[in-house]
Protein backbone atom coordinates (compact mmCIF):
# COMPACT_ATOMS: atom_id res chain seq x y z
CA UNK A 1 0.00 0.00 0.00
CA UNK A 2 1.37 3.39 -1.04
CA UNK A 3 0.28 7.00 -0.68
CA UNK A 4 -0.65 6.92 -4.36
CA UNK A 5 -3.03 4.06 -3.68
CA UNK A 6 -4.53 5.86 -0.68
CA UNK A 7 -5.04 9.03 -2.71
CA UNK A 8 -6.67 7.11 -5.56
CA UNK A 9 -9.10 5.39 -3.19
CA UNK A 10 -9.89 8.67 -1.49
CA UNK A 11 -10.57 10.42 -4.80
CA UNK A 12 -12.88 7.65 -5.97
CA UNK A 13 -14.92 7.84 -2.76
CA UNK A 14 -14.99 11.64 -2.78
CA UNK A 15 -16.16 11.74 -6.39
CA UNK A 16 -18.88 9.19 -5.71
CA UNK A 17 -20.05 11.03 -2.59
CA UNK A 18 -20.12 14.52 -4.06
CA UNK A 19 -21.23 13.87 -7.64
CA UNK A 20 -23.52 10.84 -7.26
CA UNK A 21 -24.57 9.88 -3.75
CA UNK A 22 -25.38 13.19 -2.05
CA UNK A 23 -26.96 14.67 -5.21
CA UNK A 24 -29.25 11.64 -5.46
CA UNK A 25 -30.74 12.51 -2.07
CA UNK A 26 -30.67 16.29 -2.09
CA UNK A 27 -32.48 16.39 -5.44
CA UNK A 28 -35.51 14.33 -4.50
CA UNK A 29 -36.04 13.53 -0.82
CA UNK A 30 -37.48 16.68 0.85
CA UNK A 31 -41.29 16.73 0.99
CA UNK A 32 -42.13 20.42 0.77
CA UNK A 33 -45.88 19.73 0.81
CA UNK A 34 -46.26 17.65 3.99
CA UNK A 35 -42.86 18.03 5.64
CA UNK A 36 -40.19 15.47 6.35
CA UNK A 37 -38.67 13.20 3.74
CA UNK A 38 -39.93 11.00 0.95
CA UNK A 39 -37.86 7.84 1.24
CA UNK A 40 -39.16 5.29 -1.30
CA UNK A 41 -37.51 5.31 -4.72
CA UNK A 42 -37.35 2.71 -7.48
CA UNK A 43 -34.28 1.64 -9.42
CA UNK A 44 -34.50 4.76 -11.60
CA UNK A 45 -34.71 7.07 -8.59
CA UNK A 46 -38.43 7.76 -9.08
CA UNK A 47 -40.83 8.12 -6.17
CA UNK A 48 -42.40 4.66 -5.83
CA UNK A 49 -45.45 6.06 -4.03
CA UNK A 50 -45.55 4.23 -0.68
CA UNK A 51 -47.70 6.19 1.75
CA UNK A 52 -45.49 6.02 4.81
CA UNK A 53 -42.86 7.90 6.72
CA UNK A 54 -41.07 5.66 9.17
CA UNK A 55 -39.23 6.81 12.26
CA UNK A 56 -36.15 4.94 11.03
CA UNK A 57 -36.06 6.61 7.61
CA UNK A 58 -36.79 10.10 8.96
CA UNK A 59 -34.18 9.96 11.75
CA UNK A 60 -31.53 8.35 9.59
CA UNK A 61 -32.03 11.05 6.96
CA UNK A 62 -31.63 13.76 9.60
CA UNK A 63 -28.44 12.06 10.77
CA UNK A 64 -27.13 11.82 7.20
CA UNK A 65 -27.62 15.50 6.39
CA UNK A 66 -26.39 16.65 9.80
CA UNK A 67 -23.23 14.53 9.80
CA UNK A 68 -22.35 15.32 6.19
CA UNK A 69 -22.84 19.03 6.90
CA UNK A 70 -20.66 18.72 10.00
CA UNK A 71 -17.98 17.05 7.86
CA UNK A 72 -17.97 20.00 5.46
CA UNK A 73 -20.10 18.80 2.56
CA UNK A 74 -23.15 20.17 0.83
CA UNK A 75 -23.36 23.94 0.93
CA UNK A 76 -26.38 25.68 -0.56
CA UNK A 77 -26.49 26.15 -4.35
CA UNK A 78 -28.94 27.73 -6.78
CA UNK A 79 -30.53 24.34 -7.35
CA UNK A 80 -30.32 22.66 -3.94
CA UNK A 81 -30.75 23.60 -0.27
CA UNK A 82 -27.80 23.15 2.06
CA UNK A 83 -27.49 19.92 4.03
CA UNK A 84 -28.06 21.94 7.22
CA UNK A 85 -31.36 23.22 5.78
CA UNK A 86 -32.40 19.68 4.87
CA UNK A 87 -31.56 18.46 8.37
CA UNK A 88 -33.61 21.29 9.89
CA UNK A 89 -36.49 20.45 7.56
CA UNK A 90 -36.43 16.86 8.87
CA UNK A 91 -36.22 17.91 12.51
CA UNK A 92 -39.23 20.20 12.07
CA UNK A 93 -41.31 17.23 10.88
CA UNK A 94 -39.95 14.84 13.49
CA UNK A 95 -40.79 17.14 16.41
CA UNK A 96 -44.17 18.35 15.17
CA UNK A 97 -45.63 15.17 13.61
CA UNK A 98 -43.90 12.16 15.19
CA UNK A 99 -43.43 13.24 18.83
CA UNK A 100 -46.08 11.91 21.25
CA UNK A 101 -47.06 14.92 23.38
CA UNK A 102 -49.03 12.75 25.80
CA UNK A 103 -46.71 9.84 26.58
CA UNK A 104 -43.39 11.02 25.18
CA UNK A 105 -41.20 9.35 22.63
CA UNK A 106 -41.56 9.12 18.87
CA UNK A 107 -44.23 7.17 16.98
CA UNK A 108 -43.01 4.32 14.78
CA UNK A 109 -44.82 5.30 11.59
CA UNK A 110 -46.88 8.06 9.98
CA UNK A 111 -48.31 8.38 6.50
CA UNK A 112 -47.03 11.03 4.11
CA UNK A 113 -49.38 13.64 5.50
CA UNK A 114 -48.09 13.07 9.02
CA UNK A 115 -51.05 11.09 10.36
CA UNK A 116 -50.00 8.37 12.79
CA UNK A 117 -50.17 4.84 11.36
CA UNK A 118 -48.33 3.01 14.16
CA UNK A 119 -48.04 4.59 17.61
CA UNK A 120 -45.77 1.97 19.20
CA UNK A 121 -42.53 2.91 20.92
CA UNK A 122 -39.70 0.77 19.58
CA UNK A 123 -36.31 1.27 21.24
CA UNK A 124 -34.46 0.70 17.97
CA UNK A 125 -36.24 3.73 16.55
CA UNK A 126 -35.83 5.80 19.73
CA UNK A 127 -32.08 5.14 19.60
CA UNK A 128 -31.89 6.69 16.15
CA UNK A 129 -33.84 9.70 17.42
CA UNK A 130 -31.16 10.26 20.09
CA UNK A 131 -28.41 9.69 17.51
CA UNK A 132 -29.73 12.04 14.84
CA UNK A 133 -30.87 14.80 17.17
CA UNK A 134 -27.55 14.88 19.03
CA UNK A 135 -25.68 14.97 15.72
CA UNK A 136 -28.03 17.72 14.50
CA UNK A 137 -27.17 19.95 17.46
CA UNK A 138 -23.45 19.21 17.07
CA UNK A 139 -23.71 20.13 13.37
CA UNK A 140 -25.94 23.19 13.52
CA UNK A 141 -26.04 24.47 17.10
CA UNK A 142 -29.85 24.22 17.14
CA UNK A 143 -30.58 23.21 20.74
CA UNK A 144 -33.93 21.63 19.91
CA UNK A 145 -32.00 18.55 18.88
CA UNK A 146 -30.26 17.85 22.16
CA UNK A 147 -33.36 18.88 24.13
CA UNK A 148 -35.41 16.09 22.57
CA UNK A 149 -32.48 13.66 22.55
CA UNK A 150 -32.27 14.05 26.32
CA UNK A 151 -36.02 13.59 26.66
CA UNK A 152 -35.83 10.26 24.84
CA UNK A 153 -32.79 9.19 26.84
CA UNK A 154 -34.69 9.89 30.09
CA UNK A 155 -37.73 7.93 28.85
CA UNK A 156 -35.53 4.91 28.10
CA UNK A 157 -34.07 4.99 31.60
CA UNK A 158 -37.57 5.23 33.09
CA UNK A 159 -39.41 2.64 31.01
CA UNK A 160 -36.98 0.46 29.05
CA UNK A 161 -34.00 -0.09 31.35
CA UNK A 162 -33.86 -3.61 32.83
CA UNK A 163 -32.70 -3.12 36.41
CA UNK A 164 -32.55 -6.89 36.99
CA UNK A 165 -30.41 -8.24 34.14
CA UNK A 166 -29.11 -5.05 32.57
CA UNK A 167 -29.63 -3.60 29.13
CA UNK A 168 -32.90 -2.43 27.66
CA UNK A 169 -36.21 -3.99 26.77
CA UNK A 170 -37.12 -3.01 23.23
CA UNK A 171 -40.81 -3.29 22.31
CA UNK A 172 -43.50 -1.09 23.88
CA UNK A 173 -46.98 0.16 23.11
CA UNK A 174 -47.74 3.86 22.94
CA UNK A 175 -47.93 4.34 26.72
CA UNK A 176 -44.61 2.49 27.25
CA UNK A 177 -46.20 -0.76 28.44
CA UNK A 178 -43.89 -3.67 27.59
CA UNK A 179 -45.29 -5.84 24.81
CA UNK A 180 -45.87 -9.58 25.10
CA UNK A 181 -43.48 -12.46 24.35
CA UNK A 182 -42.62 -14.16 21.09
CA UNK A 183 -43.03 -12.18 17.87
CA UNK A 184 -44.20 -9.17 19.88
CA UNK A 185 -40.63 -9.04 21.19
CA UNK A 186 -41.27 -8.06 24.78
CA UNK A 187 -39.17 -10.89 26.25
CA UNK A 188 -36.14 -10.51 23.98
CA UNK A 189 -33.12 -8.27 23.61
CA UNK A 190 -30.98 -7.78 20.53
CA UNK A 191 -27.45 -6.96 19.46
CA UNK A 192 -28.86 -4.52 16.92
CA UNK A 193 -30.70 -2.28 19.36
CA UNK A 194 -27.90 -2.22 21.93
CA UNK A 195 -25.23 -1.50 19.33
CA UNK A 196 -27.26 1.46 18.11
CA UNK A 197 -27.80 2.61 21.67
CA UNK A 198 -24.01 2.69 21.97
CA UNK A 199 -23.71 4.98 18.94
CA UNK A 200 -26.64 7.10 20.18
CA UNK A 201 -25.25 7.53 23.69
CA UNK A 202 -21.83 8.32 22.18
CA UNK A 203 -23.23 11.25 20.20
CA UNK A 204 -25.36 12.37 23.13
CA UNK A 205 -22.37 12.38 25.48
CA UNK A 206 -20.26 14.17 22.87
CA UNK A 207 -22.99 16.80 22.74
CA UNK A 208 -23.70 17.25 26.48
CA UNK A 209 -20.66 15.90 28.39
CA UNK A 210 -23.08 15.03 31.18
CA UNK A 211 -21.85 12.32 33.63
CA UNK A 212 -25.13 10.37 33.39
CA UNK A 213 -24.74 10.04 29.62
CA UNK A 214 -21.15 8.89 30.04
CA UNK A 215 -22.14 6.34 32.67
CA UNK A 216 -24.92 4.84 30.57
CA UNK A 217 -22.65 4.69 27.52
CA UNK A 218 -20.06 2.78 29.54
CA UNK A 219 -22.78 0.40 30.75
CA UNK A 220 -23.86 -0.39 27.19
CA UNK A 221 -20.24 -0.93 26.10
CA UNK A 222 -19.69 -3.30 29.03
CA UNK A 223 -22.81 -5.22 28.07
CA UNK A 224 -21.81 -5.48 24.42
CA UNK A 225 -18.30 -6.77 25.10
CA UNK A 226 -19.29 -8.92 28.09
CA UNK A 227 -22.63 -10.42 27.08
CA UNK A 228 -23.57 -9.77 23.47
CA UNK A 229 -20.35 -10.60 21.63
CA UNK A 230 -19.53 -14.31 21.52
CA UNK A 231 -17.27 -15.30 24.45
CA UNK A 232 -14.92 -17.34 22.24
CA UNK A 233 -15.06 -15.84 18.75
CA UNK A 234 -15.80 -12.22 19.65
CA UNK A 235 -18.60 -12.10 17.08
CA UNK A 236 -22.07 -10.64 17.50
CA UNK A 237 -24.91 -12.85 18.73
CA UNK A 238 -28.20 -11.50 17.29
CA UNK A 239 -30.91 -12.26 19.88
CA UNK A 240 -31.22 -13.07 23.58
CA UNK A 241 -33.83 -13.79 26.18
CA UNK A 242 -34.33 -11.09 28.81
CA UNK A 243 -31.75 -12.75 31.11
CA UNK A 244 -29.14 -12.77 28.30
CA UNK A 245 -29.34 -16.45 27.44
CA UNK A 246 -28.92 -16.86 23.68
CA UNK A 247 -32.30 -17.08 21.93
CA UNK A 248 -33.12 -18.44 18.47
CA UNK A 249 -33.33 -15.54 16.04
CA UNK A 250 -36.97 -14.91 15.09
CA UNK A 251 -38.89 -12.35 13.08
CA UNK A 252 -40.60 -9.67 15.20
CA UNK A 253 -43.96 -8.13 14.39
CA UNK A 254 -42.14 -4.81 14.11
CA UNK A 255 -39.03 -5.44 12.04
CA UNK A 256 -36.21 -3.37 10.62
CA UNK A 257 -34.27 -4.24 7.53
CA UNK A 258 -34.53 -8.02 7.61
CA UNK A 259 -36.43 -9.63 4.76
CA UNK A 260 -34.98 -13.10 4.41
CA UNK A 261 -36.89 -15.38 6.77
CA UNK A 262 -38.40 -18.80 6.38
CA UNK A 263 -42.19 -19.01 6.36
CA UNK A 264 -42.34 -19.86 10.07
CA UNK A 265 -40.47 -16.66 10.96
CA UNK A 266 -37.38 -18.40 12.33
CA UNK A 267 -33.95 -17.66 10.92
CA UNK A 268 -32.01 -20.48 9.31
CA UNK A 269 -29.20 -21.51 11.69
CA UNK A 270 -31.11 -19.45 14.25
CA UNK A 271 -28.71 -20.06 17.14
CA UNK A 272 -25.42 -19.94 15.23
CA UNK A 273 -25.29 -16.98 12.90
CA UNK A 274 -23.37 -13.75 12.94
CA UNK A 275 -23.26 -10.79 10.56
CA UNK A 276 -19.89 -9.75 9.15
CA UNK A 277 -21.25 -6.25 8.69
CA UNK A 278 -22.45 -5.99 12.28
CA UNK A 279 -19.12 -7.20 13.61
CA UNK A 280 -17.18 -4.55 11.70
CA UNK A 281 -19.77 -1.90 12.58
CA UNK A 282 -19.59 -2.82 16.27
CA UNK A 283 -15.80 -2.47 16.19
CA UNK A 284 -15.61 0.95 14.55
CA UNK A 285 -18.50 2.32 16.63
CA UNK A 286 -16.71 1.13 19.77
CA UNK A 287 -13.52 2.83 18.61
CA UNK A 288 -15.42 6.06 18.05
CA UNK A 289 -16.99 5.77 21.50
CA UNK A 290 -13.56 5.30 23.03
CA UNK A 291 -12.35 8.43 21.24
CA UNK A 292 -15.24 10.46 22.66
CA UNK A 293 -14.77 8.94 26.12
CA UNK A 294 -10.98 9.45 25.91
CA UNK A 295 -10.32 5.81 26.80
CA UNK A 296 -7.29 4.01 25.25
CA UNK A 297 -8.04 1.53 22.47
CA UNK A 298 -5.83 -1.00 24.25
CA UNK A 299 -8.59 -1.45 26.83
CA UNK A 300 -10.54 -3.49 24.28
CA UNK A 301 -7.82 -4.61 21.84
CA UNK A 302 -8.72 -8.28 22.13
CA UNK A 303 -12.44 -7.69 21.50
CA UNK A 304 -11.77 -5.36 18.59
CA UNK A 305 -9.28 -7.69 16.96
CA UNK A 306 -11.57 -10.71 17.18
CA UNK A 307 -14.55 -8.96 15.60
CA UNK A 308 -12.55 -7.34 12.81
CA UNK A 309 -10.39 -10.36 12.10
CA UNK A 310 -13.44 -12.61 11.82
CA UNK A 311 -14.95 -10.26 9.22
CA UNK A 312 -11.73 -10.13 7.21
CA UNK A 313 -10.88 -13.84 7.48
CA UNK A 314 -14.35 -15.28 6.83
CA UNK A 315 -16.58 -12.54 5.41
CA UNK A 316 -14.55 -11.31 2.43
CA UNK A 317 -15.21 -12.97 -0.93
CA UNK A 318 -11.76 -13.17 -2.49
CA UNK A 319 -13.12 -14.66 -5.71
CA UNK A 320 -15.90 -12.23 -6.66
CA UNK A 321 -15.29 -9.33 -4.29
CA UNK A 322 -17.30 -7.78 -1.49
CA UNK A 323 -18.36 -9.17 1.85
CA UNK A 324 -20.89 -11.94 2.48
CA UNK A 325 -24.04 -11.43 4.56
CA UNK A 326 -23.50 -13.85 7.44
CA UNK A 327 -22.20 -17.18 8.67
CA UNK A 328 -21.38 -19.30 11.69
CA UNK A 329 -19.39 -17.92 14.59
CA UNK A 330 -16.72 -20.50 13.87
CA UNK A 331 -16.36 -19.24 10.29
CA UNK A 332 -18.53 -21.23 7.86
CA UNK A 333 -20.44 -18.91 5.49
CA UNK A 334 -24.23 -19.42 5.35
CA UNK A 335 -25.38 -16.53 3.17
CA UNK A 336 -23.15 -15.63 0.21
CA UNK A 337 -25.25 -12.80 -1.19
CA UNK A 338 -24.01 -9.21 -1.02
CA UNK A 339 -26.14 -6.65 0.81
CA UNK A 340 -25.46 -2.92 0.63
CA UNK A 341 -25.13 -2.08 4.31
CA UNK A 342 -22.59 -4.77 5.14
CA UNK A 343 -20.31 -3.42 2.40
CA UNK A 344 -20.72 0.10 3.78
CA UNK A 345 -19.81 -0.86 7.35
CA UNK A 346 -16.82 -3.08 6.60
CA UNK A 347 -15.19 -0.30 4.55
CA UNK A 348 -14.98 1.81 7.71
CA UNK A 349 -14.11 -1.14 9.94
CA UNK A 350 -11.27 -2.43 7.77
CA UNK A 351 -9.70 1.03 7.53
CA UNK A 352 -9.81 1.34 11.31
CA UNK A 353 -8.34 -2.15 11.67
CA UNK A 354 -5.49 -1.33 9.30
CA UNK A 355 -4.81 1.97 11.07
CA UNK A 356 -4.74 0.39 14.53
CA UNK A 357 -3.25 -3.04 13.98
CA UNK A 358 -1.11 -2.39 10.88
CA UNK A 359 -1.89 -5.81 9.41
CA UNK A 360 -1.85 -5.77 5.59
CA UNK A 361 -4.74 -8.26 5.47
CA UNK A 362 -7.07 -5.45 6.51
CA UNK A 363 -5.88 -3.19 3.72
CA UNK A 364 -6.29 -6.00 1.19
CA UNK A 365 -9.79 -6.65 2.58
CA UNK A 366 -10.60 -2.94 2.30
CA UNK A 367 -9.40 -2.73 -1.31
CA UNK A 368 -11.42 -5.82 -2.20
CA UNK A 369 -14.68 -4.35 -0.90
CA UNK A 370 -13.86 -0.86 -2.21
CA UNK A 371 -13.60 -2.23 -5.75
CA UNK A 372 -16.75 -4.35 -5.46
CA UNK A 373 -18.76 -1.37 -4.24
CA UNK A 374 -17.61 1.09 -6.89
CA UNK A 375 -17.56 -1.39 -9.77
CA UNK A 376 -20.75 -3.35 -9.02
CA UNK A 377 -22.81 -2.15 -6.07
CA UNK A 378 -23.19 1.50 -7.05
CA UNK A 379 -25.98 2.07 -9.55
CA UNK A 380 -24.04 4.78 -11.36
CA UNK A 381 -26.97 5.74 -13.56
CA UNK A 382 -28.78 7.22 -10.55
CA UNK A 383 -26.07 7.47 -7.86
CA UNK A 384 -27.22 5.16 -5.03
CA UNK A 385 -26.31 1.54 -4.26
CA UNK A 386 -28.19 -1.61 -5.22
CA UNK A 387 -29.72 -3.10 -2.04
CA UNK A 388 -28.96 -6.81 -2.58
CA UNK A 389 -26.85 -8.65 -5.14
CA UNK A 390 -25.89 -12.20 -6.00
CA UNK A 391 -22.47 -13.35 -4.98
CA UNK A 392 -21.25 -12.44 -8.45
CA UNK A 393 -22.65 -8.90 -8.26
CA UNK A 394 -25.95 -9.09 -10.16
CA UNK A 395 -28.81 -7.09 -8.57
CA UNK A 396 -31.51 -9.18 -6.86
CA UNK A 397 -33.51 -6.32 -5.37
CA UNK A 398 -33.54 -3.17 -7.45
CA UNK A 399 -35.16 -0.38 -5.38
CA UNK A 400 -32.89 2.50 -4.47
CA UNK A 401 -34.61 3.27 -1.18
CA UNK A 402 -37.37 2.31 1.22
CA UNK A 403 -37.85 2.57 4.98
CA UNK A 404 -34.96 0.19 5.70
CA UNK A 405 -32.68 1.08 2.81
CA UNK A 406 -31.95 4.75 3.20
CA UNK A 407 -28.95 7.10 2.93
CA UNK A 408 -27.57 6.44 6.43
CA UNK A 409 -25.21 3.53 5.69
CA UNK A 410 -24.01 4.64 2.27
CA UNK A 411 -23.35 8.33 2.94
CA UNK A 412 -21.91 7.62 6.39
CA UNK A 413 -19.57 5.02 4.89
CA UNK A 414 -18.20 7.51 2.36
CA UNK A 415 -17.79 10.34 4.90
CA UNK A 416 -16.14 8.12 7.50
CA UNK A 417 -13.95 6.22 5.03
CA UNK A 418 -12.63 9.46 3.52
CA UNK A 419 -11.86 10.69 7.03
CA UNK A 420 -9.86 7.52 7.76
CA UNK A 421 -8.03 7.60 4.43
CA UNK A 422 -7.03 11.19 5.19
CA UNK A 423 -5.56 10.06 8.50
CA UNK A 424 -3.58 7.33 6.76
CA UNK A 425 -2.36 9.76 4.11
CA UNK A 426 -1.17 12.18 6.79
CA UNK A 427 0.88 9.56 8.67
Residue ranges and CATH numbers for the domains of the chain are 52-366 (1.50.10.10)
Helix boundaries (H) for 27-143: 55-70, 83-93, 123-140
Give Rg (Cα) of the chain.
20
Half-sphere exposure of 345 (CA within 13 A, CB side): 25
pLDDT at residue number 248: 87
CA distances from residue 279 to 64, 197, 348, 351 in whole angstroms, order as listed: 22, 15, 12, 14
Dihedral (CA of 180, 183, 188, 194) sign = negative
DSSP state of 168: B
CA distances from residue 42 to 64, 72, 192, 401 in whole angstroms, order as listed: 20, 29, 27, 7
pLDDT at residue number 147: 98
From first to last of its 427 residues, the chain has per-residue pLDDT tens of: 789 999 999 999 999 999 999 999 999 999 999 999 999 999 999 999 999 999 999 999 999 999 999 999 976 666 678 999 999 999 999 999 999 999 999 999 999 999 999 999 999 999 999 999 999 999 999 999 999 999 999 999 999 999 999 999 999 999 999 999 999 999 999 999 999 999 999 999 999 999 999 999 999 999 999 999 999 999 999 999 999 999 988 888 887 655 554 454 555 555 688 999 999 999 999 999 999 999 999 999 999 999 999 999 999 999 999 999 999 999 899 899 999 999 999 999 999 999 999 999 999 999 999 999 999 999 999 999 999 999 999 999 999 999 889 999 999 999 999 999 999 999 8
DSSP state of 17: I
Dihedral (CA of 120, 163, 271, 368) sign = positive
pLDDT at residue number 83: 96
pLDDT at residue number 268: 56
d(CA 341, CA 246): 25
d(CA 57, CA 330): 34
User: What is the crossing angle of helices 144-155 and 123-140, to 10°?
Assistant: 150
Whole-structure pTM value: 0.95
Amino acid sequence: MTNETLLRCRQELHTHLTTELLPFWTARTADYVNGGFITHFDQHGRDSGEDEKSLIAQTRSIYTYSSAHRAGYGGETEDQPSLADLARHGVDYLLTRMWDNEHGGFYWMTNRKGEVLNDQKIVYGQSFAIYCLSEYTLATGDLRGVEYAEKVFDLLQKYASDTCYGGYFEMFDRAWTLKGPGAAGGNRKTLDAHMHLMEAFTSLYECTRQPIHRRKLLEVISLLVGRIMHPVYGTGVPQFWADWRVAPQIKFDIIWGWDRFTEDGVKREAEDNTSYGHNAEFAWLLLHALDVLEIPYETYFNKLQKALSHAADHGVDWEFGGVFVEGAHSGHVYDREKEFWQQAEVLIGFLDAYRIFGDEKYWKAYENVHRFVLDKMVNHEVGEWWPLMTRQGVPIWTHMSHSWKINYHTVRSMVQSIRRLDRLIET
